[in-house]
Structure 1
């Protein structure tokens, strides 16, 4: 019974943060994205969120932070999917993200074995 309650609370927490991330207040969005990236235990789920944000119609600061958060996820989980690494390489020439991409890739190289 406790597990189902915890999952319900997790879903409400995720949902409330996602609403802020896709909202109009950039400060709230970036705070929520950072909280989600640092505290979400499901690496695959947060990777999917971050990948979606890279192409979402959100403020530039939110997209930039999504790249930075990929590095945080790699550091915290000591893993990252090849799909994320490939997407970062694709974004290396993106005018809005190209300055953040090398830092995220560096974090991955440092914290993820066999990346």
Structure 2
């Protein structure tokens, strides 16, 4: 699947709700590198972390939070940092959570 450059946020939201893991993964990668709205990216990634989707999807959503911090230098630390700290206790997601925390510390002012 190839996501067109001229896609609406509503269309991307639909892709993120897909039952097809590969569609969700491609949509996550697209939003991380092509959407200039870190707050929106953060919201969609957090929703996926809390979803019933696979660990692959949840892990990539965590990584994309780190990408948003790195690319945009902004993230809602009051929401994201407690979530990521909690996820460091999750055996399968702890590495990605630590990496995202590192990105926030390095790239977000006052992070």
- Give per-residue Cα distances to partners, 1:84-112, cap 9 Å, x unaligned: 11110111111231121111111111111
Aligned with residue 84 of structure 1, among 65, 80, 87 = 80
- Give per-residue Cα distances to partners, 1:47-106, cap 9 Å, x unaligned: 111111111011221100000001100011111112111110111111231121111111
Unmatched tracts of structure 1, length 5 or more? 1-9
In the alignment, which residue of structure 1 is the partner of 2:94? 98
Q: For the residues of structure 1 that align with 2:60 and 2:53, how far apart are their CA atoms? A: 11
Cα RMSD (Å) of the superposition?
1.6
1:18 CA drift (Å)? 2.1
Give me the TM-score of the superposition, normalised by structure 2.
Answer: 0.85
Q: How many residues align?
A: 105
In the alignment, which residue of structure 1 is the partner of 2:16? 21
**Bigger share in helix:** 1
- Give per-residue Cα distances to partners, 1:4-59, cap 9 Å, x unaligned: xxxxxx8x622222222221221221011110122222221211111111110112
In the alignment, which residue of structure 2 is the partner of 1:6? none
In the alignment, which residue of structure 2 is the partner of 1:46? 41
Unmatched tracts of structure 2, length 5 or more? 1-5
Q: For the residues of structure 2 that align with 1:59 and 1:19, how far apart are their CA atoms? A: 17
Could you list the runs of 4 or more consecutive aligned residues of structure 1 that deviate by over 6 angstroms after TM superposition?
none
Structure index of larger Rg: 1
Contact 1:22 1:58 in 2 (8 A): no
